[in-house]
Amino acid sequence: MIQNIAVLGAGTMGIGIAHLFANHGFAVSLYEPNDALLPSTREKLLSMERADEHCTVLLFSELEKAVTDADLIVEAVPEQLTIKRDVYGRLARLIKEQTIVASNTSTFALETLAEGQPFANRMVIAHFFNPAHVIPLVEILGLPATSPADMEEIVELMRACGKSPVILKKDIPGFIANRLQAALMREACYLLENGVADIEQIDTAVKEGLGMRWAFKGPFEIADLGGLDIWSKVTGHLFPKLSVSTVEPESILTKTAEDHLGIKSGKGYYSYEDPVGTAEELQSNLQKLVSLKAKIRMDLPSDSE
Ligand SMILES: NC(=O)c1ccc[n+]([C@@H]2O[C@H](COP(=O)([O-])OP(=O)(O)OC[C@H]3O[C@@H](n4cnc5c(N)ncnc54)[C@H](O)[C@@H]3O)[C@@H](O)[C@H]2O)c1
């Protein structure tokens, strides 16, 4: 049974994941090797607490102290294979025999991460979305050797924390949601770069159109609602006209070459006078949307069954 959870890496994802578990009553340790980040990590954790919450996360800059008692490790260290492998190598000597090791990787195959690790059959992917303590989706993936009991335990843990876990049947780069998001971005960049519409109009089409439905219905549900005869025509007519580019979009390459990286540099596709405020506003709006969705579900008997 999972009681003690160690999160590795106090970055964008690790802090949110630690907050999530602590907020649901688990004993959480957060390992961050960079001592200098510990005070700001503590502040970030406190700033995430709402008035009715009290979460305790123990911070450690020594791996051993953070992981010795852990029933579950959630690795959220930088997306570099050497760093992840180095951490796993050190974990192997420190963790209990039954500890489950979950990686939050966005791009590495689980098979690649697990290769050569003595705890390979206890490794899973648990891919959260930023902000991890707010967005309900977690993509879960095991190897053929992963025990069904461990998979079940991870899925149940996520449900107990109010998450909506989705289990993949195959190890594939980008899992589900990032593949869908990348497919949309490819087409958005195609429309922009071919002068069909500007960024505000493309963003509005998603925010005020597609996105409104997506909070409630997925693509297959929407296809059923529209009628599969119609969708047969839509896909048949439009698929040959869509972008099939396999390279990074020109607009992203140009902006990154100019060091316009988005809110982190104050300028990307848009300019940001208050980058921190922009990120905080999104997080707050997402929190409201998640609460509203839960409320709407409760108000509709057919959806709450
Ligand atoms: N940022 C996202 O939106 C997002 C979403 C889903 C998944 N992910 C994945 O989550 C993981 C973490 O991403 P992030 O955006 O939080 O990264 P980040 O760079 O914000 O944070 C990584 C943290 O790990 C620390 N670190 C460095 N070396 C370490 C080590 N050896 N042991 C422990 N900690 C170490 C760093 O000091 C930093 O605080 C990556 O695998 C990434 O692909 C990121």
How many angstroms is it from 223 CA to the middle of ligand 1?
A: 36
Per residue in 65-118, pLDDT tens? 999 999 999 999 999 999 999 999 999 999 999 999 999 999 999 999 999 999
- Superfamily of domain 177-273, CATH level 4: N-(1-d-carboxylethyl)-l-norvaline Dehydrogenase; domain 2 (1.10.1040.10)
- Superfamily of domain 4-167, CATH level 4: NAD(P)-binding Rossmann-like Domain (3.40.50.720)
Which residues' Cβ are closer than 6 Å to ligand 1?
8-14, 31-34, 37, 76-79, 83, 87, 104-106, 127-128, 130
**d(Cα 64, Cα 31) in Å, to the nearest integer?**
9
**d(Cα 251, Cα 269) in Å, to the nearest integer?**
9
Query: Which residues fall within 8 angstroms of residue 277, CB to CB, at 6 or more apart?
Result: none
Whole-prediction pTM: 0.93
Measured by CA distance, the residue closest to atom 40 of ligand 1 is 79
Ligand 1 atom closest to the Cα of residue 8 is 33
Per residue in 277-286, pLDDT tens? 999 999 999 9
Cα 279 to Cα 10, 49, 166, 230, 262: the distances in Å are 18, 16, 26, 39, 11
How many angstroms is it from 134 CA to the middle of ligand 1?
A: 17
Domain residue limits, the chain = 4-167, 177-273
How many angstroms is it from 52 CA to the middle of ligand 1?
A: 28
Percentage of the chain modeled with pLDDT above 70: 98
CA-closest candidate to residue 290, choices 222, 204, 215, 217: 215
User: Where residue 298 falls among pLDDT bands split at 50, 70, 90?
Assistant: confident
How many angstroms is it from 211 CA to the middle of ligand 1?
A: 28
Measured by CA distance, the residue closest to atom 33 of ligand 1 is 9
Task: Give 115's Cβ-side CA count (13 Å radius).
Answer: 9
